[in-house]
């Protein structure tokens, strides 16, 4: 029996098959058993041999975390467990390899997860899912990856702490033998990272709760649905999420046009969180209790900065598929279903007055509940400038306390709507092209400006194919660009079987989700999720440096950017992320160390 093992950093992404990411060219891997024999022709992910390193040095501050990965490979069929309870496998001859972690500081909380793979667009399999299960089986020469997270408490004393991951092997009830060991050290600086709620970083990941209910086969907004949502809300709060997503009409994104790609046959329609009834007298009744319950659930976990309302301004339409405009006397294509109590039939509002009365009622509900100062009505990529202006002006007339936000591809709206729109989110290429204007708008108008990526640009992005450090960039890049935060449209928009295959015909694999559903309906985190968390912490460190009079923008440029001027980021001379960014884990850590050393001296 030959067991190989090694330790590597949190940004490593193991793959099997054809490999491609946006930082390197495409290569073809060979079976692992050939690696030793043909080292000169067998490429290694990111140029790093997983099994060479047996130790790693990490840095952190208090109220921080560090992570690393351990890879295991065996020339016989085996299973891995990270549990200290007895574990067997039904098939004969499978070797048990148990991983146990220890640290000489008992106050540091350690968590381990076995990683699982998903299929990428080019048919390769890549690690992303962090399983809660404590056992996973592997064929001979397959590689197991384990992810370890160490939470550094606020009370942790300055110092360097050491630990190890020890591997034990056995078959059935044979006595275990030690078959390997890797070491780690954590240098903890005497700096306390600010809590995310005290940072100005504006993280906004949209919530798609109708999709969640459908995938988990639960009645929308039932008690069971709310119970399932709670773990997802907590996971968002742990990232520093600031926004509550409220869906206030039916199918505001036209289901991302998923009905036009029946090869996927994945329903991603979002539905109104409110319920509407029409009495036989003709009077409408509005039930906003689910909206209130959801807001309070988010507030419970500290997601309480903004309440973003979708579905009231510039909704997406697809006339050919029955998702067009139903009220000819209303400027927008808002779709509202209601129950007609006179005959029990579900019907659609077809007059502008009915739609306006509903919007007024929702507006008044937010005022009554004391939410109105946090509420913002959002338009997602409004392409028709005149229509957007008409919709906003109409809403201001009927719901005067509403303020507005927009995710936009260009800043052409900003000047005209400077007194109406408070928050702008600009897609990254436009944020770069119009950088000078955005900084002027921030200074003159006091508006919030964040940036986003979605199905484009290809880099930097957060697809399964993307280098994990592209995800981590959100912190330092936001700070470097002097923007307020980051938005992405996805969190739980899943394919039919997201635990195995996240490929779409209309999106890049991984474009539509950052987390995965567990078998009990709870949330499973991912490697990409952990890099979002790392990126947010990076921003907070940069923010703390600024508060202490330390300028780190030049340091970010020197360590992470390969271009002289940010305007070159999307020039014709750049074809992959590695042309623009230094996607080296050490470079990111160098910035962190520099900040911590300076802060520790303050």
Gyration radius of the chain's alpha carbons: 26
So what's the pLDDT on residue 561? 95
Q: What is the CATH number of the domain that holds 178?
A: 2.60.40.10
Residue 101 lies in a domain: yes
3-state percent breakdown (helix, strand, coil) of the chain, nearest 5? 30, 30, 40
So what's the pLDDT on residue 242? 97
Residue 49 lies in a domain: yes
Residue 548 has pLDDT above 90, yes or no: yes
Residue 208 lies in a domain: no
Average pLDDT of the segment spanning 341-364: 98
DSSP, collapsed to helix, strand or coil, labels residue 227 as helix
Residue 3 has pLDDT above 50, yes or no: yes
Average pLDDT of the segment spanning 386-414: 90
Residue 173 lies in a domain: yes
Q: 392, 386 in Cβ contact below 8 A?
A: no
Q: Which residues contact residue 252 at a Cβ distance below 8 angstroms, ignoring those fewer than 6 apart?
A: 270, 310, 311, 315, 316, 380
Residue 320 has pLDDT above 90, yes or no: no
Q: 509, 121 in Cβ contact below 8 A?
A: yes
Per-chain mean pLDDT for the chain: 92
This prediction has a pTM of 0.94
Residue 505 lies in a domain: no
Q: 115, 125 in Cβ contact below 8 A?
A: no
Average pLDDT of the segment spanning 404-432: 86
Residue 423 lies in a domain: no
Total domains, the chain: 1
Structural domain boundaries enclosing 163? 3-192
So what's the pLDDT on residue 602? 81
pLDDT higher for 46 or 293? 293
So what's the pLDDT on residue 398? 97
Residue 98 lies in a domain: yes
The tens digit of pLDDT for each residue in 40-57 reads 443 445 445 788 899 999
The token duo for 516 is 């995965």
**Beta strands in 25-81, from DSSP E residues, in sequence order:** 27-28, 55-62, 64-74, 78-81
Residue 22 lies in a domain: yes
List the Cα angle 488/489/490 in 5-degree steps: 100
Q: Residue 396: what are its φ and ψ, rounded to 5°? A: -65, -30
Average pLDDT of the segment spanning 74-96: 90
Average pLDDT of the segment spanning 364-385: 94
Average pLDDT of the segment spanning 116-135: 93
CA atoms within 13 A on the CB side of 385: 9
Give the number of residues written for the chain: 602
């Amino acid at each position: 029996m030959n067991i190989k093992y090694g330790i590597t950093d949190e940004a490593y992404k193991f793959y099997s098959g054809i490999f491609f990411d946006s930082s390197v060219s495409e290569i073809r891997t060979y079976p692992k058993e050939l690696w030793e024999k043909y080292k000169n022709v067998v490429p290694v992910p990111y140029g790093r041999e997983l099994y060479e390193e047996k130790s790693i040095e990490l840095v952190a501050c208090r109220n921080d975390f560090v992570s690393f990965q351990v890879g295991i490979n065996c020339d016989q069929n085996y299973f891995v467990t990270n549990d200290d309870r007895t574990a067997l496998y039904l098939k004969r001859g499978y070797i048990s390899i148990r991983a146990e972690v220890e640290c000489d500081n008992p106050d540091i909380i350690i968590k381990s997860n076995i990683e699982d793979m998903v299929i990428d667009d080019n048919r390769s399999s890549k690690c992303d899912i962090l399983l809660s299960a404590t056992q996973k089986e592997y064929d001979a020469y397959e590689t197991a990856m384990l992810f370890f997270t160490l939470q550094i408490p606020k009370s942790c004393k300055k110092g360097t702490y050491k630990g190890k991951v020890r591997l034990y092997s056995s078959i059935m009830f044979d006595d275990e033998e030690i078959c390997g060991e890797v070491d780690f050290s954590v240098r903890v600086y005497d700096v306390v990272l600010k809590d995310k709620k005290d940072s100005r970083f504006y993280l906004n990941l949209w919530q798609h709760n109708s999709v969640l209910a459908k995938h988990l086969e639960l009645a929308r907004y039932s008690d069971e649905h709310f119970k399932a949502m709670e773990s997802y809300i907590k996971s968002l709060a742990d990232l520093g999420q600031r926004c509550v997503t409220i869906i206030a009409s039916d199918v505001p994104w036209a289901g991302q046009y998923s009905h036009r790609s029946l090869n996927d046959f994945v329903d991603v329609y979002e539905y109104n969180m409110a319920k509407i009834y029409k009495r036989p007298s003709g009077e409408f009744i509005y039930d906003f209790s689910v909206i209130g319950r959801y807001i309070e659930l988010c507030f419970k976990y500290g997601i309480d900065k903004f309440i973003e309302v979708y579905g009231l301004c510039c909704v997406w339409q697809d006339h050919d598929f029955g998702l067009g405009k139903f009220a000819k006397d209303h400027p927008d294509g808002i779709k509202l279903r209601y129950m007609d109590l006179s005959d029990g039939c579900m019907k659609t509002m077809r007059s502008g007055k009915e739609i306006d009365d509903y919007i007024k009622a929702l507006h008044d509900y937010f005022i009554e509940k004391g939410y109105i100062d946090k509420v913002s009505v959002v338009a997602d990529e409004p392409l028709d400038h005149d229509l957007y202006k008409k919709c906003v002006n109409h809403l201001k007339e009927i719901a005067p306390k509403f303020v507005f936000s927009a995710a936009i591809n260009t800043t052409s709206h900003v000047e005209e709507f400077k007194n109406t729109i408070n928050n702008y989110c600009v897609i990254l290429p436009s944020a770069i092209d119009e950088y000078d204007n955005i900084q002027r708008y921030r200074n003159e108008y006091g508006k919030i400006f964040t940036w986003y990526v979605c199905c484009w640009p290809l880099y930097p992005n957060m697809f399964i194919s993307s280098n994990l450090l592209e995800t981590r960039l959100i912190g330092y890049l936001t700070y470097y660009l002097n923007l307020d935060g980051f938005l992405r449209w996805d969190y739980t928009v899943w394919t039919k079987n997201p635990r195995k295959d996240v490929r779409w015909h209309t999106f890049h694999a991984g474009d539509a989700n950052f987390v995965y559903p567990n078998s009990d309906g709870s949330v499973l985190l991912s490697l990409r999720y952990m890099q979002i968390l790392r990126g947010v912490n990076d921003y907070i460190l940069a923010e703390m440096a600024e508060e202490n009079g330390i300028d780190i923008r030049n340091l970010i440029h020197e360590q992470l950017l390969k271009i002289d001027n940010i305007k070159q980021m999307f020039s014709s001379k750049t074809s992959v992320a590695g042309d623009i960014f230094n996607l080296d884990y050490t470079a990111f850590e160098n910035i962190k160390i520099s900040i911590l050393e300076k802060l520790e001296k303050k």
